[in-house]
Structure 1
Amino acid sequence: MPRRAEKPNGLSQGPGVLSPGRGARVICIPIAAATTDAALLLMERAAPLADLVELRIDRIPDADLERLIAARRTPVIVTNRSRQEGGGFTGSEEERVGRLGEAVRLGADYVDIESATDPALKSGLREAIAGTSTKLIVSWHDFSGTPPSQFLRAKLEACMADGPAIAKIVTRADDDSDCLRVLGLIPYALRKGQAIAAFCMGRRGIISRIAAPRLGSAIAYASLEPDEASAPGQLTIHQMREIDRLMEEGSGNE
């Protein structure tokens, strides 16, 4: 697959390559659909707009991974989210993680696995990744709220212990202080040399989605349309790009 051209925000990308500068926004569009064919159409729509697409195979019944990964025009994250962390996969844990291993064999750019996954299954996935170009995202989500800072740091450290390319921490915000606690994880991780994606869900979390890239968060998530959001408070790709434009205009960069 040819290397993608440099982005207007200065981001240079190829499959599996993310190198945003602080303040640059790498935007990922999650893909969920009723069929593989429908998912392929969404990927086609997302390709000219996004830096990444996330294949939510837990929300694509009978997803044909070979077709989906082969058709990508932008780097892909393959996620098979457990029900415990807001996903839709209904099979066994072995089956769930096995699908991620299949994605690695098919050349996925990233796979996302939950920190709480059985250690033996995580170890098996890391072994599958070793020697390939696939990169690992280890994530933790809390849909009930935002715990204290010490607890959040412990969850981040648990993610980091699995040796990911990116650690991902997402909680639900009920007030501004929740957002500040989660955003505080970004400089904490970066000081340790760990790339991180951290932000809050929900309406009160929208400000964290805007602020996180300015602090160095690796990935922002956005939907194609308002009714296609994969999490509460998720903005659309068009809203995110307009925010970027206004911020650049306001800083005198245009």
Structure 2
Amino acid sequence: MSKPVKVNHVVIGEGLPKICVPVMGKDRKALKEEAEKARDAMPELVEWRADFFEELEKEEELMKALKGIKGILGEIPLIFTIRTRSEGGQAELSKEEYEKCLFKAAESGWAELVDVEVFETECGEKLIEALHKTGVKVIASTHNFEKTEDMETLKRRFLDMDATGADILKMAVMPKAFEDVASLMQTTHEITEEYTEKPVISMAMGNLGSISRIAGENFGSSVTFACVGAASAPGQFHIDELRMMMAALHKKNTEEE
């Protein structure tokens, strides 16, 4: 990997995996409280899961909420995400509404990164190209809450995401056996070593996949997600636990034999 993505003071794809904390409040009051807790935990990134926001389809309320979160976070980069039901989230929007919300967030200047579910949109490349013109960085993402595909399918999906022109590639899967976790980690390693220079984010969800949230440094995942309150996906650690385990692993990785 040789194309790290710099967002404010954070460089994704360089050094240790960056820790991202989600905020998922249903209204502006809850979002304010969650954003303050996230800020105080000092993660490198924060993700607003806007699909939990009850007034997602009201543009004015959405923008007020986004501005409020960014005002609390300051220089901590913010990822704007609408996770649809088909990819494990809460939102049930038309493709037009989904894209409109992404554009509004991108144009506002209050979100430095925007997550795009590229396999759920009909023209991912055009959408990402248009989002780039607003100045945001784009994360192409895919989530499978049911299973883990075979390694060739995982690889192909990574390459398809890479071809959209996104800045960062993200994949989350649900393992049924440890072999699934190993498949995701091995595929991520191969993709980052041989096929793309872009930062990759990958994780196997649930308790079975917990190791993938800790060991990104070893297999090539550039961001890992942790919680300070409620988890946004199965298997997330509290940020303090995750930091401790990542630090211990990094120490072993850098010790001389």
Fold shared by both chains (TM-score > 0.5): yes
* Structure 1: segments with no counterpart, 5+ residues: 1-11
- Counterpart residue identity of residue 22, structure 2: P
The percentage of aligned residue pairs carrying the same residue is 26
SS at match of 1:163: coil
TM-score, normalization by structure 2: 0.85
**Which structure's residues are more often helix, by fraction?**
2
Distance apart, 1:172 and its partner CA: 0.6
Structure with the greater relative contact order (CA < 8 A, sep ≥ 6): 1 or 2? 2
1:47 aligns with 2:39: yes
**Counterpart in 2 of 1:205?**
209
Give CA-to-partner distance per residue, 1:109-146, whole Å, 9 cap, x none: 1100112122336523431322x431000111111111
* Structure 2 CA distance for aligned equivalents of residues 41 and 15 of structure 1: 23
Match status 1:120 vs 2:112: no
Query: In the alignment, which of 128, 135, 138 is matched to residue 137 of structure 2?
Result: 135
Please tell me whether the aligned partners of residues 13 and 199 of structure 2 are also in contact (alpha carbons under 8 angstroms): no
8 Å contact from structure 2 (residues 19, 223) kept in 1: yes
**C-alpha distance 124-16 of structure 1, shift in aligned 2 (>3 A):** farther
Which of 91, 106, 109 is matched with 2:112 structurally?
109
Q: Give the counterpart letter for 2:212 in structure 1.
A: S
Q: Which residues in structure 2 correspond to 1:55-134 (within 5 Å)?
A: 55-62=48-55, 63=62, 64-73=65-74, 74-107=76-109, 108-120=111-123, 123-130=126-133, 132-134=134-136
Task: Please tell me whether the aligned partners of residues 84 and 93 of structure 2 are also in contact (alpha carbons under 8 angstroms).
Answer: no
Alignment map for 1:142-161 (pairs within 5 Å):
142-161=144-163
Partners of 1:119 and 1:59 in 2: CA distance: 24
Kindly report which structure 2 residues correspond to 1:172-211, keeping only aligned pairs within 5 A, or say none: 172-190=174-192, 191-192=194-195, 193-211=197-215
Q: Which runs of 4+ in 1 moved over 4 A?
A: 248-253
Contact kept, 8 Å, 1:75 with 1:109, in 2: the verdict is yes
Mapped partners of 1:160, 1:105: distance in 2: 23
Distance 1:174 1:16, change over 3 A: farther
* SS across alignment from 2:227: coil
The CA deviation at 1:69 is 3.2
Q: How many residues align?
A: 239
Q: Do the aligned residues in 1 keep the contact of 2:124 with 2:164 (CA within 8 Å)?
A: no
The residue type equivalent to 1:43 in the other structure is A
**Which digits, 9 at most, give the CA deviation of each residue in 1:6-26, with x for residues without a partner?**
xxxxxx97537424535x120
- Cα deviation, residue 211, structure 1: 1.6
